[in-house]
Amino acid sequence: MEQILIYHKDGSSELINDPVLFSTIKQAEHRKVLLGEDVITMTVEAATARNFGVGDYIQLFGMPRYTINQIPGVQKLATADMSTI
């Protein structure tokens, strides 16, 4: 999968797929409806919780900016495994 950067409100950015943080995009979906929703949904699995928040955004392949507009859910799967959806 292509390297995707997430840009934080403070101006910093980081890779979502980051081998140093043992972070991987497990699933990504783009839903676009004519004159309706245009949503990207991603599931990210990481060894530690990632700092994604409302107002952070990604910009893909010349597409518009996609901004996080609700608090991402976090699910602890094991003692050293976190999943952000």
From the CB of residue 23, how many other CB atoms can be counted at a distance below 10 Å? 19
Element (H, E) at 27: strand 23-32
The pLDDT, as a whole number, for residue 84 is 63
52, 84 Cβ separation under 8 angstroms = yes
Domain boundaries, the chain: 5-84
Q: What pLDDT digit, counting tens, does each position of 58-73 carry? A: 988 788 899 999 888 8
Predicted model pTM: 0.75
